[in-house]
Amino acid sequence: MSHGVRTRPEGSGQPLSEAYDTALLDLDGVVYAGGNAIVHAVDSLAHARAGGMHLAYVTNNALRTPDVVAEHLTELGIPTGAADVITSAQAVARLISEQVPAGARVLVIGGEGLRVALRERGLTPVESADDDPAAVVQGYGGPDLPWGRFAEASYAVARGVPWFASNTDLTIPSGRGIAPGNGAAVEVVRIATGAEPQVAGKPLPPMHRETILRTGARRPLVVGDRLDTDIEGAFNGGVDSLLVLTGVTDGPQLLAAPPHHRPTYVDADLRGLLTGQPEITREGDGFRCGGWTATAGPDRLELEGDGETFDGLRALCAAAWTAAGDGSCELDGGKALARLGL
């Protein structure tokens, strides 16, 4: 994928599972939500794997270890080994290990995933700012993380200890809705100290580097539900991406996406891995995909025709992104999206 201005989703004559050697799959909002498999995920991944595609699971959630994540996926019917799971905890642990002495103490504000990743890099997790840490690392600790942990981080950071964050996702999907993510917790420490952490997770390069090092992918496809982590991370890494609308991103957000948030492909769910992607063509002043034609009017996006829902969404993306150029589309697409049921 180039770093130019994308003005429409791309087509693919091959199923994506054949066009790419490795799927780098986000977890929350893509494979599962609230611990339960998302509809069509298990069967779609089984078919992709049977066809020879390597599946790797790449998550900004630093709470759980790769072993625990792999066990959970296997229980859902997706056979997975720990080596197939890459977490932001692993990425931030590598980043820290490159900047502190071997065996250094690191104050952990988060869960077991961070502690295991630090030990893997030969670092020593500690619990207090008074333990003379060489670094502070903050990762998602779950809804029961005590408020006092943020104070502990603040004490150390205010003393000048280097501060690292696994990721800065402000929200995280749950079975009950959207909950505060690690980014919200990072904001607490930032407000208290005025400091800025070094961040490893998606969409930043340390996470992409960790993923490629661990998977050996040669032609990867990033699959995600978030524009500001998964899709931007693919853009920063110069690789293609598939956005699925089973998680955080909705139709209006997709239409308004600036260039670095525009996915290569768009589909409803992980069944999109198993099919080709339709071409989007110019037709007069608009764009045609399947039975739909979308145009950008003076103040709103317009949609005509009928057919598959996501063909209509793809056409709308082309009209919106072309009208926006290298900015964000400000045209109203509400009526057109409502017609698609999105």
Chain position carrying tokens 């630090």: 118
Question: Could you write out the DSSP letters of every residue in 59-93?
Answer: ES--SS-HHHHHHHHHHTT----GGGEEEHHHHHH
| Integer Cα distance of 39 and 129 in angstroms | 44
Q: Strand 281-283 vs strand 32-33: parallel, antiparallel, or unpaired?
A: unpaired
Query: Considering only CA atoms, which of 124, 111, 106, 116 is closest in space to residue 85?
Result: 116
Task: Answer yes or no: do 26 and 132 share one domain.
Answer: no
pLDDT at position 3 is 58
Task: Answer yes or no: do 33 and 115 share one domain.
Answer: no
Residue 166's domain is classified under what CATH number? 3.40.50.1000
Bridge partners (DSSP) listed for residue 244: 267
> How many helical (H) and strand (E) elements, i.e. helices and strands, does the chain have?
12, 19
Q: To which H or E segment does residue 55 belong?
A: strand 54-59
Task: Answer yes or no: do 175 and 215 share one domain.
Answer: no
| Active-site choice (21, 28, 131, 228) | 28
Contact 233, 208 (CB under 8 A): yes
| Integer Cα distance of 249 and 271 in angstroms | 17
| CB contact set of 163 (below 8 Å; sequence gap of 6+) | 135, 136, 138, 153, 156, 157, 189, 193, 195, 196, 197, 198
Q: Which of 174, 199, 224 is the last residue of a domain?
A: 199
Task: Answer yes or no: do 330 and 231 share one domain.
Answer: yes
| Integer Cα distance of 296 and 303 in angstroms | 9
Task: Answer yes or no: do 253 and 327 share one domain.
Answer: yes
Question: Which ranges of 121-270 does DSSP label H, i.e. alpha helix?
Answer: 148-158, 182-193, 205-215, 232-237, 251-255
Contact 277, 16 (CB under 8 A): yes
pLDDT at position 176 is 83
**What are the pLDDT tens digits along the chain (342 aa)?**
445 789 999 999 999 999 999 999 999 899 998 889 999 999 999 999 999 999 999 999 999 999 999 999 999 999 999 999 999 999 999 999 999 999 999 999 999 999 999 999 999 999 999 999 999 999 999 999 999 999 999 999 999 999 999 999 998 877 788 889 999 999 999 999 999 999 999 999 999 999 999 999 999 999 999 999 999 999 999 999 999 999 989 999 999 999 999 999 999 999 999 999 999 999 999 999 999 999 999 999 999 999 999 999 999 999 999 999 999 999 999 999 999 999
Is 66 within a domain?
A: no
| Integer Cα distance of 323 and 240 in angstroms | 22
For 30, what's the count of Cα atoms within 13 Å in the CB-facing half-sphere?
Answer: 28
Task: Answer yes or no: do 238 and 320 share one domain.
Answer: yes
Is 280 within a domain?
A: yes
- For residue 285 the two structure tokens come to 């002043």
Count how many domains the chain has: 2
Is 288 within a domain?
A: yes
pLDDT at position 228 is 92
Is 285 within a domain?
A: yes
Task: Answer yes or no: do 47 and 128 share one domain.
Answer: no
The whole-model pTM stands at: 0.92
| Active-site choice (21, 26, 144, 306) | 26
| Integer Cα distance of 163 and 200 in angstroms | 11
Task: Answer yes or no: do 299 and 217 share one domain.
Answer: yes
Is residue 26 flagged as an active site residue?
yes
- CA 305 from chain centre, in angstroms, equals 33
Task: Answer yes or no: do 127 and 190 share one domain.
Answer: yes
Query: Considering only CA atoms, which of 263, 266, 231 is closest in space to residue 245?
Result: 266
Structural domain including 184 reads 91-199
Task: Answer yes or no: do 195 and 244 share one domain.
Answer: no
Q: To which H or E segment does residue 288 belong?
A: strand 286-289
Q: Which of 171, 199, 227 is the last residue of a domain?
A: 199
Q: Which of 199, 229, 254 is the last residue of a domain?
A: 199
| DSSP-assigned letter for residue 329 | -
Task: Answer yes or no: do 238 and 329 share one domain.
Answer: yes
Is 6 within a domain?
A: no
Is residue 28 flagged as an active site residue?
yes
| Integer Cα distance of 241 and 277 in angstroms | 12
Q: To which H or E segment does residue 50 belong?
A: helix 41-50
Task: Answer yes or no: do 244 and 327 share one domain.
Answer: yes
